[in-house]
Amino acid sequence: MTHSPSPIPDRLAALRQALVRHDLAAVLVPSSDPHLSEYLPERWQGRVHFSGFTGSMGTLVVTRDRAAVFADSRYWTQAEAELAGTTVELVKIPTGAATHPIDWLTATLSPSQTLAVDAAVLGLAAAQMLAGALQRHGIGLRTDLDLMAEAWPERPGLPAAPVREHLAPHAAVPRAERLAAVRAGLARHRASHHLVSTVDDIAWITSLRGADVDYNPVFLAHLLIGPQRATLFVAAGKVDAALAARLAADGIDLADYAEAAPALAALPADAVLLVDPKRITLGLREAVPAVVPVVEAINPSTLAKSRKTPAEAAFIREAMEKDGAAMCRFYAWLEAALGREAISELTIDERLTAERAREDGFVSLSFPTIAGFNANGAMPHYRATPESFAEISTPDGLVAEGLLLIDSGAQYLGGTTDITRVWPIGTPSAAQKADFTRVLKGTMALSRARFPAGTLSPHLDTLARAPLWEAGLDFGHGTGHGVGYFLNVHEGPQSISRAMPDASMAMHPGMITSVEPGLYRDGRWGIRIENLVLNISVGHPDEFGEYLAFETLTLCPIDSRCLELSLLRADELQWLNDYHAEVRRRLAPRLDGAALDWLLRRTEPV
């Protein structure tokens, strides 16, 4: 079988021609757009276009004679495969090492040489860090060029999907109330105006949703909030007349997407603008007149939307029941079909998505399904493709043996889900059972935690790692991320990880976070057990203040066939049995037939 030559060298050649035209030594291409989104519209997938690396995170640097992708351990195996034959090298960096490309650039470029990066997609905080490092080494920086526009003639345009309203009862808080809450946040900073560019914040404030970005129900826009009115900068034709009238009645006017920067430039001299340096680009910050004072602080909406209301929490619990029922139907089919049907990692994605789509209120997946069998499961962000996937079963009775990791989730009108389970295909080995049980011990240790309200979320990370550390084991990704309410599956500000804590990461009632320790044996298997949890208050002792605990929201059995019981304490077995009793109680009324039988079998007490 012959393979077509990679188009990447020709694309890099076009980019290098642009470097020569502008007398530049290098260009930095971040995985970013003008809204600093995680999942990017095709127009801003320059790193993918010019390198071939499709991972969800990574940075590309192209010089006149070298090209390098910087990626952490979650993507190393994937990157090595995708970069083969492209002339692009992989630079392996520790997870979270955001400054590594900067260190590489300052070591590679000479003083007086110049680096280009497009200010329109460069975060303000990142720009401040980059500019300082380059200046210390005498390296120039140009941010006024969009080299992708020159080197990518067939570059896609802006997405055109319509904007829709998130309606009651699922949208439980009126947008006027949310605007008032944001303005109260501005008042605390003595600011009169506020620019919001992060699309999930805008969707939350306006109670609008869209389909401009895969998996996240958001739309491309900027929002400038003033003392009395707010302006939503969105492409023409995306908001129909009736919705525009309702927005206007709530104090939100419409303007063209391209007018955001000119509107900032036209701010009056007596304005005081609040911007979040982690959530605004350098390009927009530079549009602000020098006479306008700027306050840098976290978006008030980022903090507010992380704290779900009791009404939202109730809808999320319902969404978890729908999601759990879909999972049970899928797993009942999977176990019955082994050896009777052709099953691959691709089949799993298709069937699981179809089961979720049967549920009322289903909108889309919340991220690309990760179905990784054996060695593929050892890549935390693996994704099967038609060109490369593992076979699990054939119709003539052949069934492969090993561990199947499935990380998946969905967007429902009443919530966002994200769950990972590992299932044995055949009989798990003693080593696999030991690994699985230690990961589960980490999931349970964090899930059972109690801690003071206001605890910085990264400080909880060691609770999930401790059972693995005891055996000299670890994993290279964060333990937990915030989750939105029918919004982004990855949401801040909280992060249970090794991130450097800051005050915005404090844990408060109503926050939803994933708990997902893992263990990865390169070339053999991967294990991750993930539930979503809700911060709930567990009392207000006068002497020591408010304490929080986690309510586990996710409802799906954890396969007891993978357990090494000798590694579990009695209290851990009790937690697992109590969890399975709750899963059975909540999901059984939604199931019948083979799916109900499967649920009852998989939730038997251990």
d(CA 304, CA 200): 12
In a domain? residue 158? no
Dump pLDDT digits (tens) for 538-593: 977 677 889 999 999 999 999 999 999 999 999 999 999 999 999 999 999 999 99
DSSP collapsed to 3 states, 276-341: CCCCCEHHHHHCCCCCCCEEECCCHHHHHHCCCCHHHHHHHHHHHHHHHHHHHHHHHHHHHHCCCC
- 1 in any annotated domain: no
Residue 446 in domain? yes
503-539 pLDDT, tens per residue? 999 999 999 999 999 999 999 999 999 999 999 999 7
Verify that 33 and 94 share a domain, yes or no: yes
pLDDT of residue 568: 98
DSSP states along 246-266 = HHHHTTEEEE-GGGHHHHHHT
Query: Which amino acid is present at 279?
Result: R
Mean pLDDT of the chain: 94
Q: Which helix (H) or strand (E) element contains residue 68?
A: strand 67-71
Between CA 573 and CA 578, with CA 575 as vertex, the angle to 5 degrees is 105
Q: Verify that 403 and 480 share a domain, yes or no.
A: yes
The confidence score (pLDDT) of residue 1 equals 37
- pLDDT attached to residue 99: 60
Looking at the fold, whether 351 and 217 belong to one and the same domain comes out as no
Same domain, 349 and 491: yes
Confidence of residue 2 (pLDDT cuts 50, 70, 90): very low
Residue type, 284: L
Question: Final residue of a domain: which of 86, 121, 151?
Answer: 151
Share of the chain above pLDDT 70, in %: 98
Picking from 119-128, 233-242, 312-321, 405-414, which range would have the lowest pLDDT averaged per residue?
A: 119-128
Task: Give residue 547's pLDDT.
Answer: 95
Report the SS3 class of residue 151.
helix
- Whether 156 is in a domain gets the answer no
**Within this chain, do residues 177 and 121 fall inside the same structural domain, yes or no?**
no
pLDDT at 460: 98
Whether residues 295 and 318 fall in one domain: no
pLDDT tens-digit series, residues 283-309: 999 999 999 999 999 999 999 999 999
- Contact 517/528 with Cβ under 8 angstroms? yes
**Count of domains for the chain:** 3
Residue 3 belongs to some domain of the structure: no
Q: Does a structural domain hold residue 387?
A: yes
Please determine, for residue 138, whether its predicted confidence score (pLDDT) is greater than 50: yes
Percent of the chain with pLDDT over 90: 89
Whether residue 229 sits in one domain with residue 322: no
Contact 88, 49 (CB under 8 A): no
Q: Which two tokens stand for residue 143?
A: 């941010």
Using DSSP's 3-state secondary structure scheme, residue 46 falls into: helix
Tell me the residue range of the domain where 211 lies: 164-305
Among residues 305, 339, 370, the one where a domain terminates is 305
Pairing of strands 525-528, 252-255: unpaired
Q: Does the residue 159 lie in any domain?
A: no
Query: Which CATH number does the domain housing residue 107 bear?
Result: 3.40.350.10
Is there a single domain that holds both residue 290 and residue 273?
A: yes
Q: Which of 38, 113, 140 shows the shortest CA–CA distance to 484?
A: 38
How far apart, in Å, do the first and last CA atoms of the chain sit? Answer: 50
CATH number of 363's domain: 3.90.230.10
- 486 and 361 in a common domain: yes
Distance CA 600, CA 606 (A): 13
* 95 pLDDT tier (thresholds 50, 70, 90): low
Query: Where a domain ends, among 118, 151, 184?
Result: 151
pLDDT of the residue at 94:
75
**Do residues 257 and 279 share a domain?**
yes
The pLDDT of 265-290, averaged and rounded, is 96
Flag whether 290 is in a domain: yes
Mean pLDDT in residue range 365-369: 95
What is the pLDDT, as a whole number, of residue 73? Answer: 78
280 shares its domain with 337: no
Does residue 126 share a domain with residue 178? Answer: no
Backbone angles phi, psi at 360, to 5 degrees: -60, 135
Mean pLDDT score, 439-444: 98
pLDDT for 83 equals 93
